[in-house]
Every structure is written in C-alpha cells, then in structure tokens.
Amino acid sequence: MSKLYKELADIYEAMYASFIDYDEEYNFYSKILKTHNKKSVLEIGSGTGNLSKLFQLNDWEYIGLDMSREMLEIARNKNPLCAFVEGDMRDFVLEHRIDSILITGRSISYLLSNEDVNSAFKSIHRNLKAGGIFCFDFIDANRFISEIIKVEKVVHKATLVDQKYMRESTWRLNMQHGMDLTWDSIYSKKVKNEYVEIGKDTAVVRPFTKNEIEIFLEINGFKILNIIDRKNYAFPTYVIVAEKQL
C-alpha cells in the first residue's frame, strides 16, 4: 500500500484537510443518499475520518472501513463516537447489511486488476440491503491521461492553519496489462522562506473509463441511476450512483 496511508498518514491528514472541502463533500454525498431515503452508510476508505465526523454529527448510522491501521488510528482519535472497522474492500463482511455504501476521494483507484474491482463490487453487493445504494467516484481516464502526458510535473499548494504545504507529482503511464499510472510525489512544507521535504511516496493508481465502470457494475448486479461529472480537486472525476439489483 502507498506510504501515504501508512508512515506518512500524518502528512495526509495535514495536507488533504486543506485540499478537500469536507463540508462540501458531506453535503454533496449525504444529499444523494437522502434522496434515496437511506439512513445507514458504510464509508469505504474512510481515511483519517473527516467525513465520519460529519455523518455522525448529522445522526447517520455510520461505519467507516479502511485497510490502513495508521489512518484508522487518526480517525478513531478524532471521532471516538464513530464505529470503524479494519478491512479490505475486496473482501469484507459486516455484521448487518446496510442501506448504502460510499467510496470517496477516488479510493477505487487502488483497485488495480479487474479481479480486484470484481471482488470489491461483489463484497459491496453482498453487504447492501435489497435496493441499497452504492455511490463512488473515480478518475476519468479519458481526460486525465490526455492531461498528464502533456505535463512534466503537477504542483499542488495548500495552507492549513497558516502552515503552507506543497506536493510535486510526476506520473508514468504503464500499459503492459491495461492502463495504470505510477505516481511519484514529494511532500514539502514551508519553513521560513523555502519548502523543505517532509516525505516521498510512490503509488500505482488506476483511472477508469466510464464504459469500464458501466461493465463492472452490470456484471456485479448494479443498475446505474446517475453519473455526475464532478470537477473535483486536482483530477477530472465522475461520481456514480448505482442501485443493488437482486
């Protein structure tokens, strides 16, 4: 797994809270789930628990699931009233089936093989109640790949409580078995007038085309209700709202 979610989890927590507007994320996703009359939600890839807090404060029956112990530890410390479980989205079983399952932050990018995607979608299907909603976002391969092959380096700057951070990313396209990307990133923070490196990470991520996602959902028993083109921080993103079929 990416170092960002293990030994660099504190850096994730500091930087992503300034990249992502979690109030806006909560409003966007909770509105979708409420439209379908859902009251309980499992958030897969709950990370450091920024959405958890908002679901709990708004009286949702909430469970967070993540495979990184380090991310879960931060999430639990911040949200002592929330339920969290350590688990892998490719193979998990909840005690009770749930109304809805949510994956945000393009966390399905870490499902690299077709087998990974099928296993995760099967697990999600199994843990949803009849008519349950599966809502998730993914990086749009068409737009993203054509963008990043034109640039050498992508720089993101962020400020959190007066501390300035920077992430410099480079991307390599791998086409041996499909299309994924090796993502090298260097994280720095500003000390006096210059940025000082605080961590480095290499991860492999998979962007998807809309057609691929449509096929994966169809063969795993989901009907797509809506596809939302959502320009989100940094990457071209689609959000899928799908319903469990029998």
Binding interface with ligand SAM (CB under 6 A)? 5, 16, 20, 44-47, 50, 66-68, 71, 88-90, 104-105, 107, 110
242 Cβ neighbours under 8 A, 6+ residues apart: 133, 134, 135, 217, 222, 223, 224, 225
How far is Cα 23 from Cα 237, in angstroms, rounded to an integer?
A: 18
> Closest CB to ligand SAM among 201 and 243?
201
Task: In whole angstroms, give the CA distance from residue 90 to residue 121.
Answer: 8
- Residue 174: phi and psi, rounded to 5, are -110, 125
Complex with ligand SAM: residue 1 or 196, whichever CB lies closer: 1
Residues 57, 53: Cα–Cα separation, whole Å:
6
- Residue 183: CB minimum distance to ligand SAM, A: 11
CB of 110 to ligand SAM, least distance (A): 4
Pairing state of beta strands 154-160 and 128-139? Answer: unpaired
Written as six digits, the tokens of 215 are 């096929």
CB of 57 to ligand SAM, least distance (A): 17
Bridge pairing between strands 98-103 and 163-174? unpaired
If the CB atoms of residues 38 and 206 are measured against ligand SAM, the closer one turns out to be: 206
| Residues 124, 71: Cα–Cα separation, whole Å | 21
Q: In terms of CB distance, is 113 or 211 closer to ligand SAM? A: 113
| Residue owning tokens 């480095």 | 200
Give whichever of 49 and 245 is closer to ligand SAM, judged by the CB atom: 49
